[in-house]
């Protein structure tokens, strides 16, 4: 099978690209970038249908894992048309290209499709996004799900050891190791998710020909402040630099779902998979960080 990972220059896409390369049932893996060129990746811009067409012609995929999006939540709030063009219309173009090539579409989504009033949420719970970003991801989901063979993976607070990523854990490592204090919201509850574990589960779902919506997140349901404290503990960083703050005091442009997070009963029942806890995931990150700094 030829697999095309759109957004392989991003956090989730790079984890999927890497794991796909060592997955026996995948014959060829191709990846795309938009602005951040990495060796071996093909250029694809979701706002340019021609580049989508060219990437599909070049790679002839049977499965397409769509991990590209405008992900900066506050930027989306100030640029709703751009968010719609990239996240909704771009996804629609990818779906059309998949249909033309007879490829299955697997797309990434988020718990920001919910309002965060009574999480964690199951796959069938009604969506009510609070932000432009959340709404664009929800609209994209709906368009993807018009194709019955497609798969939507919702996840949240994804972290990994990736020097080029601004994910929450990398910000924590950078700030605390440079002795910079960090204010972290203590009222945004969710499930931190280790990117390589997410990638592994997504590939198993594809191999099983799963379709519809699946929630794939880590097992701990905790707020960002608790996550930061646990991570700092495992990483041996100074926890006293972290102070709790209410989301309402952060003056962020976009509303966040506060009591969010996702239930994983469906994926656990169907795959019997192991979802990695914060302690396990951050321990693996500590190993990667130690390897890097000992060179």
**Residues in touch with ligand NAP (CB under 6 A):** 7, 9-13, 33-36, 44-47, 67-71, 86, 108, 110, 137, 155-158, 165
- Measured from the CB atom, the residue of 35 and 148 that comes closer to ligand NAP is 35
- Nearest-angstrom CA–CA distance, 67 and 60: 18
- Nearest-angstrom CA–CA distance, 125 and 139: 16
- Measured from the CB atom, the residue of 26 and 34 that comes closer to ligand NAP is 34
- Give the CA distances from residue 119 to residues 68, 114, 189, 221, 288, in Å, rounded to whole numbers and listed in that order: 26, 8, 8, 10, 32
CB nearest ligand NAP: which residue?
A: 10
CA atoms within 13 A on the CB side of 116: 22
Residue 108: both structure tokens together: 């990434």
State the nearest-atom distance from the C-beta of 1 to ligand NAP, in Å. 21
Specify whether the CB–CB gap between 278 and 218 falls below 8 A.
Answer: yes
- Measured from the CB atom, the residue of 160 and 186 that comes closer to ligand NAP is 160
Please give the backbone phi and psi of residue 217, each rounded to the nearest 5 degrees, phi first: -145, 170
Residue with tokens 């069938």: 124
- Measured from the CB atom, the residue of 186 and 193 that comes closer to ligand NAP is 193
- Measured from the CB atom, the residue of 150 and 156 that comes closer to ligand NAP is 156
State the nearest-atom distance from the C-beta of 193 to ligand NAP, in Å. 7
Closest Cα partner for 261 from 154, 113, 159, 111? 111
- Measured from the CB atom, the residue of 34 and 104 that comes closer to ligand NAP is 34
Tell me the residue length of the chain: 295
Compute how many other C-beta atoms are within 10 angstroms of the C-beta atom of residue 149: 13
- Nearest-angstrom CA–CA distance, 162 and 11: 7
State the nearest-atom distance from the C-beta of 48 to ligand NAP, in Å. 8
State the nearest-atom distance from the C-beta of 33 to ligand NAP, in Å. 4
State the nearest-atom distance from the C-beta of 164 to ligand NAP, in Å. 9
Specify whether the CB–CB gap between 156 and 188 falls below 8 A.
Answer: no
- Measured from the CB atom, the residue of 111 and 210 that comes closer to ligand NAP is 111
- Measured from the CB atom, the residue of 108 and 285 that comes closer to ligand NAP is 108
Task: Give kind and range of the element (H or E) at residue 230.
Answer: helix 224-235
State the nearest-atom distance from the C-beta of 34 to ligand NAP, in Å. 3
Task: Give kind and range of the element (H or E) at residue 78.
Answer: helix 73-78
State the nearest-atom distance from the C-beta of 12 to ligand NAP, in Å. 4
State the nearest-atom distance from the C-beta of 107 to ligand NAP, in Å. 7
């Amino acid at each position: 099978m030829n697999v095309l990972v759109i957004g392989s220059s991003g956090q989730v896409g790079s984890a999927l690209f890497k794991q796909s390369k060592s997955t026996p049932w995948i014959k060829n893996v191709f990846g795309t970038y938009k602005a951040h060129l990495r060796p071996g990746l093909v250029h694809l811009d979701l706002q340019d249908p021609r580049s989508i067409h060219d990437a599909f012609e070049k790679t002839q995929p049977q499965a397409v894992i769509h991990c590209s999006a405008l992900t900066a939540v506050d930027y989306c709030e100030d640029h709703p048309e751009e968010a719609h063009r990239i996240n909704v219309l771009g996804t629609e173009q990818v779906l059309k290209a998949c249909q033309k090539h007879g490829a299955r579409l697997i797309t990434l989504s988020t718990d920001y499709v919910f309002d965060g009033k009574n999480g964690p949420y199951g796959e069938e719970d009604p969506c009510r996004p609070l932000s432009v970003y959340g709404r664009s991801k929800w609209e994209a989901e709906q368009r993807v799900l018009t194709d019955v063979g497609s798969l939507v993976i919702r996840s949240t607070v994804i972290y990994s050891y990736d020097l080029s990523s601004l994910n929450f854990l990398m910000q924590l490592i950078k700030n605390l190791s440079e002795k910079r204090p960090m204010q972290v919201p203590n009222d945004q509850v969710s499930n931190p998710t280790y990117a390589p574990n997410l990638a592994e589960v997504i590939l198993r779902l594809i191999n099983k020909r799963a379709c519809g919506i699946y929630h794939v997140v880590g097992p701990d349901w905790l707020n960002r402040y608790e996550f930061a404290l646990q991570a700092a503990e495992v990483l041996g960083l100074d926890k006293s630099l972290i102070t709790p703050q209410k989301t309402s005091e952060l003056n962020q442009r976009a509303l966040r779902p506060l009591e969010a997070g996702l239930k994983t009963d469906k994926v656990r029942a169907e795959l019997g998979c192991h979802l990695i806890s914060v302690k396990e995931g951050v321990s693996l990150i500590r190993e990667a960080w130690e390897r890097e700094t000992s060179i």
